Every structure is written in structure tokens, then in C-alpha cells.
Structure 1
Amino acid sequence: MRKWSIIPRRTEHALRLTTMRAAFASTWARLYRQVFWLSDGHRNVERISILLHKPSDKIEEVTYELLVSGHINVQSDEKELGMDPVILKESFNLVAPHKEAFARYFYSQLFTHYPQTRQLFPPTEEGMRRQESSLIATLAVVVAGVERGENLTQVIRKLGERHLRYGAQAAHYPLVGQLLLQTFQDFLGDAFTPQMKDAWGKAYEIISTEMLKGASQSHDEGTGSVSASMELPNEPGPV
């Protein structure tokens, strides 16, 4: 994506967070706050970098971290991306009472449609039960984190590092995304609105992009190690 075409815009949800809570000032570094307030939907990344006298690559990095947290949306020539905490939470809460069945159905569909992915996951039933819990835990962390405006970038990139270690490839990510949306659709039926589908599609694109960055960084460094403090609980394999 060309930097001059990346136009960030503050979200209404983030504006409510920043006016209602002082946490933004204490948990986000000054540069992040500056980029946030300059993200008016008109200035592009290059313009913001000039105003702040910072390299455009650094401003782009900050922009994407704010995007992952739900603080801004990003408009480019191709499309607009953003995290919608309200819709993500609403739809996740609809499946949460049936979370075990939801996760089990997701993996059964994954292995049915793409049997080549089965080898990436635990071979035992007990291992798969932990895997199913891991999927729900990951979704819950993302939904809650975006709602609170937390910086989830490093957590998601660590998840990408772990997926690389388990043998996940870039080609697997679109398959998982398609089946995740289909699982929501199958479980919720008409309650899974076009707005929900759009929100989860954009969220998954953002998350998978950051996971692939984490996997790429790990590969470049020649290590698949993951800091234990960053791992989600009960993560025996890729989500």
C-alpha cells in the first residue's frame, strides 16, 4: 500500500475512550497520541510524517498499531479497513453461549474442506478440545482488547510467530478467514447481518496481516521462539 494513499481517520469509539478515560495518555506513547489526533480523514501518512518530523515508515507503523487497536480506520485507494468494537462484540456475544459447539464446528469444516491442514493440529481428541478453547480465547482477547482500545499488535504478532513454528503458511490464512465467516453465518443464520460479516472480514484481514508480519519477523531472525508472557492460555497449535 502506497504511503501517500494511506489516510487514517479517528473512530468515534476511540474518541469516546480518550475523552472518558485517562488511560490513553498513560498507556500510549506521545507519538501515538500525536498521530491519533492528526488522523482527521484528510491527512495521509506522508503529510503526518512531515508535520511530526518523523520518518514516514515510522508513522506508517504507528498508524497500523492504532488500526489494530480500533483507534483509527484507514482509507486507501482500494478500500477502508477498521475494527468495529461494537459489532464485533455483539456478534461474538451471540455465539459465546455455544462456544464449544462453535469451535468444534469450525474445525470440522476446516478439516473437511482443507484436509491438508489437519496435520498442523493435535492428533488426539483431548488436544483438539484444548485447541477449540484456544480459538474462543483468542477471539475473546481480540474483541475485548479492541473494545478497551488496547495495543494488541505485539500479542497478535507473537501469535503469528507461534503459527510459523507449528507449520502454518501464508496460504492457510485466507482459508481460515473464509471458514470463520461461514461458521458465524451457519451458527447465527439471519442474525449474522451483512454489517457483522463486513466487520469480521475486515477484522480478520487486519489480524492476519499482523500475524504474518510476526511470522516474517521470526523467520528473518531465524527463531521460532515465543515469549511465554505473551502467549494465550491453552494454545497447543495454530488457531
Structure 2
Amino acid sequence: MKRKIALTGAFLVGLAVSLSATAQRLPGDAEKLLPSLKAEIDQYWPGLAPRSFLPALIEQESLWKIGATLKTSRELGCGLGQFTRATNADGTTRFDALAETRLLHPSLAGWSWKDCYAVQYQLRAVVIKTHLSDERCSLLLDSPYDIKACAAAIHNGGAGSMSKRIKLCSLAQGCNPRRWFSNLERQCPQSRVKVQGYGEDFCTINSKYPGRVFARMPKYEGRL
């Protein structure tokens, strides 16, 4: 009888913790949009694990605000996934993440800057783009933990930046190019000059980005 009571008590404590996590308030429009994200994951990345990774990434990008906008003198980012375009000093395009992502899958063909905030396109683009980055990272890094960190860093800083990190790490004594934390994250190819409108330099932003995404993941466990 005592054993039964003890087990029941442990069960109730565990249930209370689980309910507390589930009841945690989510930012922005997350509660409303998580079912839509789940549908996109089911369609375009059903094997994603853990599923809490993508909603945490979206939270890091936009706090789940549909109309989230990043605007500086040479850069514009819009929507839940903050897909960005930037110009050079002479006005020419430096990169256009929305246009590049649109080419990744036929279902994104209708997306444009005119409807860059469109929720369905934003969620689908995050799923498809990050899935492809994850597949690329799985060939370069060892553990699932490091692979997700790599995919997050690519979403933030681009695949070219990741390639540069790997090259720098391979030349640095004691650096393992197949590990992100304490290895690739310390081999930063970006500028270390603070950027107006960001509050940090691009090196720090990109290096800390995966850890910041991971820190947001627990609140989404069991919700997708």
C-alpha cells in the first residue's frame, strides 16, 4: 500500500510539472499558429525531431509576431521567419533570402515581397529551408544536437558563413569542425563591429543564435 501511495505521489508531481509546462504562455500568435506549423511539418518534414526546434527558431526570429519587421538602411526582414534582403552601398542587391527560398520548392513559387508576411508561405519556407539545411549539416557534423545548431546558424547567417566556420576550425589547433558548441561557434567569420539596429555585431549574433534557439525549445515540448 505504501508503495502504491508513493508511486501515485510521484505521478501527481510529474503531472503537475507537465501541466505547468503546457500552460506556459507563448509569445505573439504562437498559440493560434502552432496547428498551422504542425501541418507544414507533417507535410514537408515529418521526421523532424525534436519538433520543438522549429517553433523555438520562429520565436527567436520574430517572437511569433506575424507583422514582425526588421528594417535598417540597407536591410529589410519580414514575417515570422524574418526572411531578409539586403543591398550594397551602391544600391545593388547583396542577397535576397526570400527569392532564394522561393526556388527551393514548387509550393513556394507564388511567394513574393508583395506578400512577404503571408503566414502560410512563411511557415512553409521555414520548414523547407531548415529541413534542407539540416540535411546538409548532417553530412558535416556528428551529433543530432550539433546538426540542429548548424541548421539554426545557417538560417541566421547563411550557408556560406557556415562553410567559412568549418574551414577556420579545421585550421585551428584543438578545434573539431564536426562540433558546433565550443568549436565552430568560436570560429567566427563575420564582422565584430556592432551594427546599428541590432545591438550586437554579426559575429556575436550568429555564434549565440543556436544556443538562444535551444533555450526557447522547452516551452514547445508536446505542443506539436
Structure 1 length as normaliser, TM-score?
A: 0.31
Give the greater-gyration-radius structure (CA): 2
Structure number with the bigger relative contact order (C-alpha 8 A, sep ≥ 6) is 1
Between Structure 1 and Structure 2, which shows a larger proportion of helix residues?
Answer: 1
